[in-house]
Amino acid sequence: MKVKREAVVAAIVALVLTVVLIGAVGAKVVSPLATNEQGTITNLHMSDSCDGDPIDLFPAGTETVYLVFDYSDMHGEEMKIKVDGPKFRVEAEHSSVIKSSGWTTETWSEETGEQYVKACGAVSPNATLTSTFKADAISMSYVKDADGGVAEVQVDSGTPITVDMCAATTTKAERVIVSGLSSELHTITVKVISQTNSCDGSCVGIDRFWNEVILYDATQPYTDEGTKCIPLSYSGAAIPAGNYTANIYSGSLLIKSKLWHVRPGGPGEIKNLRMSISPDGLPKEEFIEGTRTVWAVFDYADVEAEVGIDAYEGHTGFYESPRIPLTGSGTKAISVTYYYVTGFPPGPYRTHVVKDGYVDGVTNWSVLHRVYLPLVLKNHP
């Protein structure tokens, strides 16, 4: 009986070792680097120069950043590179939106104080407003009501479209005006026109525009091997604060992606972000598989903002902490608990400190593999 038991144990040990060896071999064979059918893209990162160190978080006021990657075994494959950023909301009443005479500011909600601008053709025929933007697409939010008329909307010198703002009851609406634009500056113009509709109205109410920052969008063939460095800027001005993604495509297939950020600036500073196993523990960059809770710890100075953290597993967000008000200076620790009781699986992780909606701190960390023996082995005498 004892021989049989020892034989079973030996077989189980052999099976475990086989699995471990297969995993080790697999780790060597399966490359973590994305490839297309023929070529390979590696070492994708952002920096402040073509030969600089990788940077994930750039300071406020940065005017130029550099997208850098290596490529090899290319045979003329066309690769599309697109770098886009946050969607921005431009309120129609803002001073950056240029308005002719005849526009008045109205209150949409007495509770929130939310406003929009309105012009009526009966009083101000052909009233216009314009907004300049740099985006792949732009949407317009507007107000429909019983005295709603018709607006003519045009982007650059494109074909104008008409938007009917007639409705029996006051309501908001939104529509995409145009998409697929180049990554240059564009101008949207809204004009009150005298076209009749079922309301027989003449008023146009514009709430806001939505546009997305596009820093780069181009396709070109790659041959042999080399390093590509692409400078990215925003029309000679500072790159707006927010989250950005650099994507590389082979045809329609996304083969490589990089998330990076520009700090918001302004008063207050988040610094010394680190991860730890406890609120007051030593900084750690590596944790063991099965760890269930880790802590994001950071210092702050002269802050008056709502602050929280977001945690990512690879490029996928899995935790967003409640935003809490922080004032003055100090140290804050926020726990991150994985949603499975088995704890964090092996792989790369990333933590962001978010201040008033903008990323203001970034740190990368990882969870290492750990080999578990079956319970029958652990408990065997």
Please write the tens of the pLDDT for every residue from 237-273.
Answer: 788 888 999 999 998 899 999 999 999 887 888 999 9
Farthest-apart Cα atoms in the chain, separation:
102
Quick one: which of 274, 97, 78 has its CA closest to 187? 97
**β-strand pairing of 358-368 with 286-288:** parallel
Element spanning 250, H or E = strand 242-250
> Which DSSP state fits 357?
T
**Side-chain half-sphere CA neighbours of 233 within 13 A:** 7
- In the three-class reduction of DSSP (H, G, I as helix; E, B as strand; rest coil), residue 29 is classed as helix
Looking at per-residue pLDDT, the higher value among 108 and 171 belongs to 171
Per-residue burial over 115-140, b = 16 or more CB atoms within 10 Å of its CB, e = otherwise: bbbbbbbeebeebbbebebbbbbbbb
Tens of pLDDT, residues 213-247: 788 889 999 999 999 999 998 766 788 888 999 99
d(CA 249, CA 131): 31
Per-residue burial over 360-370, b = 16 or more CB atoms within 10 Å of its CB, e = otherwise: bbbbebebeee
**For the domain 265-381, what is the CATH code?**
2.60.40.2550
- Which class does domain 87-213 fall in? mainly beta
d(CA 215, CA 131): 19
Tens of pLDDT, residues 322-334: 999 999 999 999 9
**pLDDT tier at 297, thresholds 50, 70, 90:** very high
Q: Is there a common fold for 40-86+221-262 and 265-381?
A: yes
Average pLDDT, the chain: 85
The DSSP bridge partners found for residue 192 are 151
For residue 311, report the phi and psi dihedrals to the nearest 5 degrees. Answer: -120, 140
Report which residue type is found at 361. G
d(CA 348, CA 275): 13
Task: Please report the pLDDT score of residue 107 as a whole number.
Answer: 86
**pLDDT tier at 378, thresholds 50, 70, 90:** very low
d(CA 359, CA 83): 18
Region 347-355: what's the mean pLDDT? 94
**Is-contact 308 325, C-beta < 8 A?**
no
* Token pair recorded at residue 137: 């697409």
**pLDDT tier at 86, thresholds 50, 70, 90:** confident
Task: Please report the pLDDT score of residue 94 as a whole number.
Answer: 87
d(CA 7, CA 3): 6
- How many residues are present in the chain? 381
Per-residue burial over 281-293, b = 16 or more CB atoms within 10 Å of its CB, e = otherwise: eeebeebebebee
Q: To the nearest whole percent, how much of the chain has pLDDT over 90? A: 63
**Is-contact 247 254, C-beta < 8 A?**
yes
**Is-contact 138 186, C-beta < 8 A?**
yes
Tens of pLDDT, residues 147-195: 999 999 999 999 999 999 999 998 999 988 988 787 678 999 999 998 8
d(CA 200, CA 198): 5
Fold of 40-86+221-262: Immunoglobulin-like (2.60.40)
d(CA 370, CA 360): 33
Quick one: which of 118, 283, 134 has its CA closest to 202? 118
**Is-contact 281 296, C-beta < 8 A?**
no
Lowest-confidence pick of 12-21, 23-32, 124-133: 23-32
Report which residue type is found at 233. S
pLDDT at 111 over 70: no
For residue 10, report the phi and psi dihedrals to the nearest 5 degrees. Answer: -60, -40
Task: Please report the pLDDT score of residue 112 as a whole number.
Answer: 53
For the chain, the domains span 1-30, 40-86+221-262, 87-213, 265-381
Task: Please report the pLDDT score of residue 35 as a whole number.
Answer: 47
